[in-house]
Structure 1
Amino acid sequence: MLDVRRLHVLRAVVTSGSITAAAAHLGYTPSAVSQQMAALEKQAGTALLERVGRGVRPTAAGSLLTEHAALIGAAVARAESALADLRAGRTGSLSVRYFATAGSTLVAPALAWLRTEHPGVRVDLGLTDPRDPVREVARGDADLAVVIRTRGLVGDGFRLVHLLDDPYAAVLPLGHPLAGEDVIGLHELSGERWVGSEPPGPCLEPVLEACAAAGFSPGFVIQSEDYATAQGFVAAGLGIGLMPGLGLRARHPGVVVRPVRDPEPVRVISAAARESATGQPALRGLLAALREAATAGPWGGTRTRTAAAPD
């Protein structure tokens, strides 16, 4: 196999026309250049240079390899430039996953920032797998996923960065006896018919755990996995519900939303970032933009950590 560094030396010799001139250009001694050429000729299995007066000129094989050395040099220069662009965040790609209600509220404004600051970075978007939301990040198929954090959400290959504490509020039909209260004790909803708005999993767990702490289990009479539809059922007087702030951005005119206490259910929203990708400027910037979107939103959640700090 031909040595690329020796090809570079050959090109310098042919371009300058002498061993001595090439040595001066490269910062080598003439003896070192001669040794490099002898080794390259041995690798090539044929003579590459011939003497002409006080200089040298390439043989047919030498001319051939010099042409390829120029191509290799140009390719290396392009590779170095592309690498510099990637390191600076001017190019590259990010694979991002998210759950539905985080899409328009957190991911969309963060991606708008990314498009402005890193226009050359391509983004692959997709929904998380609700059964295992960090699976793609953990195995390196995605760079970042916006997830609901649960006690079992652990694994190798990624770090969790806190974005938002998203509290649940009581959603009541107009005219409900508790609709005039500023704050509702969760135990006051124990005897109600309930409209479910969460599928089994991390979004339902805070509701069930809070109700258990308040001394009851919610009696679901209708199940909907869509917040707009669930609000419609509540507005029709079919039951009450607990829904998170991100799910209540668009409110049905027939419902009243009130905070609950003792306890207040909260779902913790985090970004799971692939550990090996956190050095990329585009990913670091996207994390910061997600934190900014979490802070700026009108849904009443709280943000407590800095963008750079992993949980």
Structure 2
Amino acid sequence: MLDVRRMQVLRAVVDSGSVTGAAAVLGYTPSAVSQQVAVLEKEAGAELLERVGRGVRPTAAGLLLTEHAGAIGRQLAEAEAALADLLAGRSGRLSVRYFATAGAGLVAPAVARLRELHPGVQLDLRLTGDPENAFAEVREGRADLALVVRTEGASGVRLVPLLDDPYLAVLPRGHRLAARRSVRLEELAEEAFVGSEWPGPCLDAQLDACAQVGFRPRFVVESEDYLTAQGFVAAGLGVSLVPRLGLGSRHPGVVVREVRDPVPVRAVQAVVRETAPPQPALEAFVEALRAAASPSPRPGDAGRPAVRPSRGS
């Protein structure tokens, strides 16, 4: 098998026209260069150089290997540059899984920020409705990061807190509490509720907060969809709790108020593989998610409930 390093020595001899010239370029002794060429000739099974006066010139076999050595040298330089870009976070590919309401509020602005700071990083973005599948994809290396609502971890992954997403009270416009700036959670104890969540950690966040003040919501409609829930509330079927990220466009027939004492909150977290080696592009995307979770106040936001960065983020 031909040795790539010896091929580069041959290339230096051909380029300089002499063993002595190649030795000066490479920082070797002339005898070391001659030995390397001699070994390469044995590997190739052919003479690679012939003497011409005080110098040398390549044989047909030597010229062939010199050309390939040049191509290999260029490929190695390209590989080194690509590796440097990857290690610096200037390039790479990230696979991200996210749930619907995190898409517009977190993922989209984070992607925009990442593209601005690291335009060479490619993203594979996929919506997932099953947090367990998202955990499995990250744990098995099929995804680099997933966004989930979760309070406890799982084997093989690490949770990165991003934000606490508070639930808001969605009331019919003519409701007895509609004129308030905020409502205490216990004031909704006797109300009919319109469900907005599938069973799981998001619904648990609502139920746990209600349990703290001594009641369990009486669900009269199970919508499992925030926009649909607003429609049922507007029709007078009950009240609902909707997370800030999931509020979206408000139905004209409802009002939205802050909830207090206590505030139902769902914890939005990023999941990364526990044993994953450092990836600058991944770290940059996590920072972009954190920045999206803590946006600067915008005109017209005064008085609106804000999504709170998660404790420990």
Alpha-carbon distance in structure 2 between the residues aligned to 1:147 and 1:2:
52
Match of 2:69 in 1: 69
1:149 maps to amino acid: R
Corresponding residue SS for 1:124: strand
Unaligned runs of 5+ in 2: none
Aligned-pair CA distance for 1:6: 0.6
CA contact (8 A) 2:169 2:240 kept: yes
Q: For 1:1-311, what aligned pairs fall within 5 Å after superposition?
A: 1-132=1-132, 133-151=134-152, 153-156=153-156, 158-274=157-273, 276=276, 278-280=278-280, 282-296=281-295, 299-304=305-310
**Scaled by the length of structure 2, what TM-score is found?**
0.89
Equivalents in 2 of 1:292, 1:101: separation in Å?
A: 17
Per the TM alignment, residue 120 of structure 1 is displaced from its structure 2 partner at its CA by 2.5
SS at match of 2:124: strand
Q: CA deviation at 1:45?
A: 2.2
SS at match of 2:125: strand
For 2:277 and 2:222, locate their aligned partners in 1 and report how far apart those are by CA, in whole Å.
39
Asked if the contact 1:128–1:145 (Cα under 8 Å) also holds between the matched residues in 2, the reply is no
Q: Structure 1 counterpart of 2:80, which letter?
A: E
8 Å CA contact 2:220, 2:238 repeated in 1: yes
Separation in 1, partners of 2:277, 2:311? 20
Question: Which moves more between the two structures, 36-45 or 296-305?
Answer: 296-305
Inter-partner Cα distance in structure 1 for 2:273 and 2:73 = 34
Does the 8 A contact of 1:143 with 1:277 survive in 2? no
* Secondary structure of 2:75 counterpart: helix
Within 1, Cα distance between the matches of 2:143 and 2:129?
12
CA offset digits 1:23-42 (Å, max 9, x no partner): 11100011211221122122
Quote the offset at 1:74 in angstroms.
Answer: 1.2
SS at match of 1:300: coil
Give the match's secondary structure for 1:204. helix
Provide closer, same or farther for how the CA distance between residues 195 and 305 of structure 1 changes in structure 2, counting only shifts above 3 A.
closer
Preserved contact between residue 207 and residue 216 of structure 2 (Cα < 8 Å): yes
What is the CA-CA distance between 1:65 and the residue it aligns to?
0.9
**CA shift at 1:104, angstroms?**
0.9
* Paired residues of 2:163 and 2:311 also in contact (CA < 8 A): no
1:283 & 1:64 partners in 2: Cα distance? 43
> Could you tell me how far 1:129 is from its partner in structure 2?
4.3
Number of residues paired by the alignment? 304
> Per-residue CA shift, 1:4-62, capped at 9, x if unaligned?
11110011112222211111110001121122112212222222223333322222221
CA separation in 2, counterparts of 1:154 and 1:2? Answer: 49
- Secondary structure at 1:184 match in 2: strand
- 1:117-176 CA-partner distances (Å, limit 9, x unpaired): 22222221111342413222222222222221222x3232x4322211111122211222
Q: Which runs of 5+ in 1 are unaligned?
A: none
Identity %: 63
Distance 1:24 1:305, change over 3 A: farther
User: Scaled by the length of structure 1, what TM-score is found?
Assistant: 0.89
Task: Classify the secondary structure of the residue corresponding to 1:145.
Answer: strand
State the superposition RMSD in angstroms.
Answer: 2.1
Aligned counterparts of 2:199 and 2:108: Cα–Cα separation in 1: 26
User: How big is the shift at 1:188?
Assistant: 2.8
- Partner deviation per Cα, 1:216-255 (whole Å, 9 max, x = no partner): 2222111112211101101111111111111224222222
